[in-house]
Amino acid sequence: MKVTINVKLINSKFNQAYADKDNEGEETEDNMKYLWEDEFEVKGDVSNFKVINNTTYLLNGLYPNDEEFSFEIPDMMVLECLLENGSLTRIGFSKKAVSKTEKTETENGMTFNVYLKSIREIVNPMTGVYILKEDYPEELLELYSDEEE
């Protein structure tokens, strides 16, 4: 099945009463529901999809000098997608950052929506990884900050 992941960062300053009163309940440029939105498809046919709460996520990658790194990030919600070819795709979210989730069946698969709280900063170093800045490895944070400037 085809799996689409939709991630939205909720604007904590969104005022529904203002939207109801002045704009028929809809958001406006100065009163937006979401600060940003990511949407991506899991590559390949997913044979099994599950949500694992309160687990550890292994963040692997390469430093700029091509040395490998691996960090365990605790207190995560991980979406596990087992593909028909036997490989596993894992998508990680800091559990404390998740406001709510919704699963919607579609004609040829499903869409999984994740709504994130905007009260604490989230680091998104790559597609499919959303970690609270306070939980992100400090030595990687320095590299991430340099890339953003």
Over residues 73-92, the pLDDT tens digits come to: 999 999 999 999 999 999 99
DSSP letter at 104 equals: E
How many whole angstroms separate alpha carbon 33 and alpha carbon 29?
Answer: 10
Average pLDDT of span 4-11 = 94
pLDDT at 13: 73
Nearest to 116 by CA among 105, 103, 132: 132
Mind listing the pLDDT tens digit for each residue in 10-65?
887 766 676 667 777 666 777 677 889 999 999 999 999 999 999 999 999 988 89
Nearest to 124 by CA among 30, 66, 40: 40
> pLDDT averaged over the chain?
89
pTM higher than 0.75: yes
For the chain, which residues make up each domain, given as ranges? 2-148
